[in-house]
Amino acid sequence: MTSDEKDRNTTPDAVYDAGQPRFWERGSLDNEFGRIFDICHQCRRCFDLCPSFDVMFKTIDNRGEDASVLTSADNKRILDFCYQCKLCYNHCPYTPPHQWALDFPRLMLRAKAVEVKERGRVTLQDKALGKTDAIGKTGALFAPLSNIANRNRFGRTIMEKLLGIHRDRNLLDFQRETFSKWFKKRARSNSEAGSANGEVAIFHTCTVEYNGPQVGRAAVEVLEHNKFGVSCPEQKCCGMPFLDGGDIESTLESAAFNVKVLAEEIRAGRDVVVPGPSCSYMIKKEYPALLGTDEARMVADRTYDLCEYLVKKAREGKLDRNFKKKPGKVAYQAACHLRAQNIGFKSRDLMKAAGADVELIERCSAVDGTWGFKKEYYQLSMKLAQPLFEKVDSANPDYAVSDCPMSGLQIEQGTGRKVLHPIQIVHMAYGLDEKRNEED
């Protein structure tokens, strides 16, 4: 039986299950490229979403009438231009449970994984960008010297040559005191509110842990102000940087570890809250698909984006609406990995409830994950994000805001504006920033 015949007689999920031999077969992958690209070509609803679709449609139009004209080299170009924003999935009318079961982002992830297996190794560039925990621990240990080094022109030139990270890409600063260190040294008795409204476990994310602990502190203080007890379990990077680089083995290791830990928190009666959309997307969407276990599905079902959770609790009457000051005008970029969760604009709704004047901006930052850091795509990344920069600038806000630290990094580079997380706006509206200053 040929790979094509096998795929036609296999459930759609089987060709995206890394535990199945079919997943790794080049012939099966090429057949799936052809099947999906043919459907995309006839539909063209995603023509303006990203460079991958632009390359696909222009190549077909220049050579013939259908997707059969695309070569393996064309497929590789389409793959390389995909930065996993995930927006095409919700935009597509043919995703599961439709009989065509089209899943463009997962096809790209599968292709990347097969490419890595055929090559026999993850590239040094993807390996470096994937090791967020190792980089974060080292950067935090040597901060602020690590931040000075990251801004040194000579050092950045070497970094570009060795690791392929563009010398002009601004990088997140490392903080000497990580979020988990702050959480551990802070006595739980500091919380006057207790846990009358329930308990949550915070999956803090790598960027909060090493680069933005102030976001994590604001999250904890807002949650505790609203009478939620907060725990901070041991955790690893969610694995998205590994997955983007085609490193399935490392992704599965991270996913299995986090699911085990978070499942214990859930069994103890806690929901899981995540202040980063890429990480919450991984736990909700990718972990069940990667691991295929009841435990992974349970964790996914009880995991919430941080603002999604607070809005849910507001509807249950468990959110304090006694805000002390109005935050002013906010230009809020709805991050792609949050929009891909199809939960609405909960961060916007929460900031509006807190008294902010919010202008919603639905524009991709085009830096998603690690793609915009790479020297091959940095300039294109900045060009694709230009409409976002213009929207932020034209809003003339008091604060630029995004849930995604990578989007925040991109907005800061393109506009020069410091970018906050929505929870920091809510924290400010409660007056908790003033209370912290008094305590300090």
DSSP states of 294-326: HHHHHHHHTEEEHHHHHHHHHHTT-S-----S-
Examine the pLDDT at 359 and tell me if it is beyond 90.
yes
- 179-315 and 329-439 agree in CATH topology: yes
User: What is the 8-class DSSP label of residue 243?
Assistant: H
CB atoms within 10 A of CB 181: 14
For residues 135 and 129, give the distance between their C-alpha atoms in angstroms, rounded to a whole number.
9
Q: Does domain 329-439 have CATH number 3.10.20?
A: no
Strand order in the sheet with 329-333: 357-361, 329-333, 399-402, 419-420
21 burial (CB, 10 Å; 0-12 / 13-18 / 19+) is exposed
> What percentage of the chain has pLDDT greater than the value 90?
88
Report residue 415 as tokens. Answer: 């506009």
Examine the pLDDT at 437 and tell me if it is beyond 70.
no
What's the pLDDT at 188? 53
C-alpha atoms less than 13 angstroms from C-alpha of 430 in its C-beta half-sphere: 22
Range with the poorest average pLDDT among 64-73, 250-259, 323-332, 416-425: 64-73
Examine the pLDDT at 165 and tell me if it is beyond 90.
yes
Examine the pLDDT at 404 and tell me if it is beyond 80.
yes
pLDDT in tens, 114-149: 999 999 999 999 988 999 999 999 999 999 999 999
Instruction: Give 194's pLDDT tier (boundaries 50, 70, 90).
Output: confident
For residues 185 and 192, give the distance between their C-alpha atoms in angstroms, rounded to a whole number.
17
DSSP per-residue codes, 264-280: HHHHTTEEEEES-HHHH
Domain ranges of the chain: 3-119, 179-315, 329-439
> What 3-state class would DSSP assign to 439?
helix
What's the pLDDT at 4? 46
For residues 338 and 85, give the distance between their C-alpha atoms in angstroms, rounded to a whole number.
10
CATH of domain 179-315: 3.40.50
Q: Count the residues in the chain.
A: 440
Range with the poorest average pLDDT among 122-136, 185-199, 270-284, 399-413: 185-199
pLDDT in tens, 26-74: 999 999 999 999 999 999 999 999 999 999 999 999 987 889 999 999 9
What's the pLDDT at 435? 66
The whole-number average pLDDT for the span 256-281 is 98
Residues 6+ apart with CB under 8 A from 307: 346, 347, 349, 350, 403, 422, 423
Residues 6+ apart with CB under 8 A from 50: 81, 82, 83, 85, 87, 88, 364, 366, 384
Residue of 49, 59, 113, 115 whose CA lies nearest to 82: 49
Report residue 417 as tokens. Answer: 């504006």
Instruction: Give 8's pLDDT tier (boundaries 50, 70, 90).
Output: very low
pLDDT in tens, 368-387: 778 999 999 999 999 999 99
What are the E-state strand segments in 156-236? 199-202, 229-231
Examine the pLDDT at 271 and tell me if it is beyond 60.
yes
